[in-house]
Amino acid sequence: MWKIKFGSGGEDPYLYSTNNFLGRQIFEFDEKAGTHEERAQVEEARHNFYKNRYNVTPCSDLICRFQDDEEITYEKADAAMRRSINFWSALQSPHGHWPAQNAGVMFYIPPLVFCMYICGHLDKVFNKHHKREMLWYMYCHQNEDGGWGLHIQGPSMMMCTVLNYLAMRILGESADGGLDNACSKAQKWIHDHGGAVGSGSWGKTWMAILGVYEWDGCNPMPPEFWFYPSIVPLHPCKYSTNLLYFFLTKMFCYCRLTFMPMSYFYGRKFVSEITPLIKQLREEIHIIPYKDIKWSKMRHVCAKEDNYYPHGKVQRLLWDCVYYLAEPIINTWPFNKIREKAVQRAMEHIHYEDENSRYITIGCVEKPLMMLACWVEDPDGEYFKKHIPRVDDYLWVAEDGLTMQSFGSQTWDCSLTVQALFAGNINKEIAAVLKKAHEFLKMSQVRENPPNHLDHFRHISKGAWTFSDRDHGWQVSDCTAEALKCCLLLGMMRSELVGEPMKAENMYDAVNVIMSLQSPNGGVSAWEPTGAPKWLEFLNPVEFLEDLVIEYEYIECTSSSIQALNLFRKSHPGHREKEVDKFITNAANYLEDTQMADGSWYGNWGICFVYGTWFAIRGLEGAGRHYNNCEAVRRGVEFLLETQREDGGWAESYTSYGDFPQQELMGVFMRNCMSHYAAYRNIFPNWALAEYRNLVPFPSTN
């Protein structure tokens, strides 16, 4: 039976942590765990999910929720006062956070399978139980037409269908095997829609690495990019050496760190060993014989299902110039010496990012790429060995199988949960729960900047919180703001109830990070400062994601930052007072300026207009702008009233119309990629119920 473990480093000499693995959550299969009834309960949940997979695609995270080992005593139930708060409190981990899935994207797990297969570690890292659950996840989320979508509720697309088909075959299924003929149905979908050459660019890259596609069919990803002088607009970072960023031209960090290892593989034209299985796959996914494919003509081919963000003529001309003019030159002597040094430079950056994320890396797309790059450099090296034990940090098991998360959402979910619980005004009764969460948040704050961060295109992180845990290392403005709010609120309570308050200097560090991410227009970005020109998005090389190249300001980040700094200035009125006041004023102006014509705001990280409007109004409220003195708030309220349903609730799906069942997807990134946030359906109802009870006068029996 699968069991979730917390804070386990084991005895692996290549696994290390800056924080004693606080917040680490991994799944292990225990042959002896659970009673017969409990194991039957898990199997029933798995099969129920499969039978209903076309009606309800996100999982309910039941395998994790079945594992509440803490006994609910009468005293604890009585103290919680409410069944909802009692239930959610009981699911708190021993570390103080609330474990929950953050996944749902269908191109996450296949590259990890490819990486382990290429490295010869597939059977070493994944046992039969891992493989069984990975296949189950693919079965459960295969569409009725045989393909897979970008996410678990999306229509079938070529890239995800090809990647999942290849993964199923590598995991042991035959070409006509799989549950309900999963493989043959997938192969038919691929052939009916033009073959694997229609995959998006990321799919082509992984296929080229695997050996079922040729590098000549990929648009260039030159590693010389890392040698360009910073005056070049496309360079990943441009900064002044005195730390004062001017006309900051920096790629979006996830784009930068995805193409970093891709450029390494492209520069080396690395191809894995061509095994008999790879030879079979070459013939299975293409509609004409592999040897007859004109690869150079495939570079711009993209299936209509994948082409969410079509490449324009200018971009195609750019890639053609690099492909036909620059690449032949750089690959001939003596210029090939530059290519060798560029590949080495890319690898140096990869090692830096690995070390400063404790080999978690920035996210699940980058993890298998960077891990494989370390193996290609040295199959027996320390770098690769340090990557292996961190694979478990990404895996999540539920009734729909085993998948790879974007990364953990420990800090984010904990911060929202604390505020939802705090809103219930029963803090003394749930003090033990709040204390554990308080300690988790205090211990999860990032304590240092990455060493020599400007030389590696990194922003400051000292004082920030990440989306997941401290080891991850990547600062996020709204995660920092929401965690800071919690620490400020809990710091107002008696220390004997919720622990000692956070030190003032640690709060000052958090404020520094938040304020460093405000743009001239008043908005707040997520990971790094903005500043790159918008026209660079026309060079977005990815067909299925939008707004990928540069960093932007976000409604949610701006709102969270206002709320946190407003609370901070009340408790620490003497610290950077004028700067904080100016920050809040400018941020509130940004929120008013970005309101849509119907009174709503666009939410970037949730679905979508109701979510964004909730954040925006809370942000304006934090700046002292409310219904009576702010037209934007009144318009926002009118939008909410006009969109309320007859049953009293609100509904919105990721397509911005129709119903919003409890288990529809609730997260989103890069405009069109949906994500499954399993904790939201517990956090927000609790929060709403508490606020309703606080604000609405009820009849009293007393």
Cα 142 from chain centroid?
22
What single DSSP character describes residue 701?
-
Angle, alpha carbons 629-635-639 (nearest 5°): 145
Kindly provide the b/e burial profile for residues 536-553, where b requires at least 16 CB atoms within 10 angstroms of the residue's own CB: ebeebbbbbbebbbbbbb
Q: With both helix axes pointing from N to C terminus, report the angle between 680-695 and 83-90 in degrees, rounded to the nearest 10.
A: 150
Phi first, then psi, for residue 661 (nearest 5°) are -60, 165
The token pair that represents 656 in the structure block: 């911005």
* Calculated CA dihedral for residues 672, 514, 461, 352, nearest 10 degrees: 40
| 598 counts as catalytic | no
CA proximity to 666, closest of 600, 602, 599, 611: 611
Which secondary-structure segment (H or E) carries 233? none
CA proximity to 401, closest of 40, 33, 58: 58
Rg, C-alpha atoms of the chain = 25
Secondary structure in 3-state letters for 520-576: CCCCEECCCCCCCCHHHHHHCCCCCCCCCCECCEEHHHHHHHHHHHHHHHHHCCCCC
What single DSSP character describes residue 325?
I
Is-contact 419 489, C-beta < 8 A? yes
Q: 597: buried, middle or exposed (CB in 10 Å: 19+, 13-18, 0-12)? A: exposed
What is the distance between the alpha carbons of residues 699 and 123, in angstroms, rounded to a whole number? 63
The amino acid that residue 411 corresponds to is T
* Calculated CA dihedral for residues 179, 183, 184, 185, nearest 10 degrees: 80
Q: With both helix axes pointing from N to C terminus, report the angle between 410-422 and 680-695 in degrees, rounded to the nearest 10.
A: 20
Q: Which residues contact 348 (CB under 8 A, 6 or more apart)?
A: none
Q: Is the dihedral of CA 688, 571, 445, 558 positive or negative?
A: positive
Q: Is the dihedral of CA 621, 409, 62, 169 positive or negative?
A: positive
Is-contact 677 396, C-beta < 8 A? no
Q: Is the dihedral of CA 644, 646, 647, 653 positive or negative?
A: negative
User: Which of 478, 547, 593, 598 is labelled catalytic?
Assistant: 478
Catalytic residues: 478
